[in-house]
Amino acid sequence: MHIHLINPNSTASMTAQALESALSVKHTDTRVSASNPADTPVSIEGGADEAMSVPAMLAKIREGEVQGVDAYIIACFDDPGLHAAREVAKGPVIGICQAAVQVAMTISRRFSVITTLPRSVPIIEDLVSDYGAVRHCRRVRAIDLPVLALEEDPKRAEWLLIKEIEAAKAEDGAEAIVLGCAGMSSLCDRLKEATGVPVIDGVSAAVKMAEALVGAGFTTSKVNTYDYPRIKTAMSHRVCA
């Protein structure tokens, strides 16, 4: 099977890191490719960035449909354009937030999410609610570090994450931690080792979910909601004198 990972922002190094995380967990027979648009925001931090990233992301999926891609992963924790992407794709489209939340609910009764900036907290809280996990998610926390700083100062990012994970364990009663940014995926194993708590990276979770869905023969329903977009043509209007 062929899974294509799309990083909706335009930072190629972040795409490469997410791909590396995906390759580390994929099945031997699974092909995972990755891409990112060239003309979207360099990081996605808020609703405006999300909106600007979606058209180019949908174009990547349309390219994948021509190439015979079996499933897609949206490698941004805000799951931007997820429903729109499912209208365009035949195969499963997995958002890394939804995948991580569903894994967290499976392996623990209580979990917390740790993301980058405080402005992302309400967005993720809404997603957690949409995915039916409000009773399980004890808190969405932020380390108050921009997305690009995860690459620029990884040691500080790791220290801040460890500190926040320990606080989540003590204050939230969290039994598992979800990393709320694709740019954190490379730190997952080190954070598990340092804190002794299961740490869930959405990229890895999405890869395994995509493999399972494709392997079982599930495709995106084209009944009503996720049906392909209707083809529309501009109508000419008669001008009355």
130-170 pLDDT, tens digit each = 999 999 999 999 999 998 888 888 899 999 999 999 999 99
- In tens, the pLDDT along 31-64 reads 999 999 999 999 999 999 999 999 999 999 999 9
Fold of 97-202: Rossmann fold (3.40.50)
CA-CA-CA-CA torsion sign (110, 78, 27, 87): positive
Going from N- to C-terminal start, the domains of the chain cover 2-95+204-222, 97-202
Task: Name the residue with tokens 């940014």.
Answer: 181
Asked if domains 2-95+204-222 and 97-202 share a fold, the reply is yes
* Alpha-carbon separation of residue 8 from 43, 82, 152, 222, 229 (angstroms): 8, 11, 20, 24, 21
Tokens standing for residue 109: 């009764």
Amino acid at 197: V
Short-list 52, 60, 168, CA closest to 104: 168
Q: Does domain 2-95+204-222 have CATH number 3.60.21.10?
A: no
pLDDT at position 241 over 70: no
- Is a pLDDT exceeding 70 seen at residue 110? yes
Which H or E run includes 188?
helix 188-195
State the amino acid at position 75 in one-letter form.
A
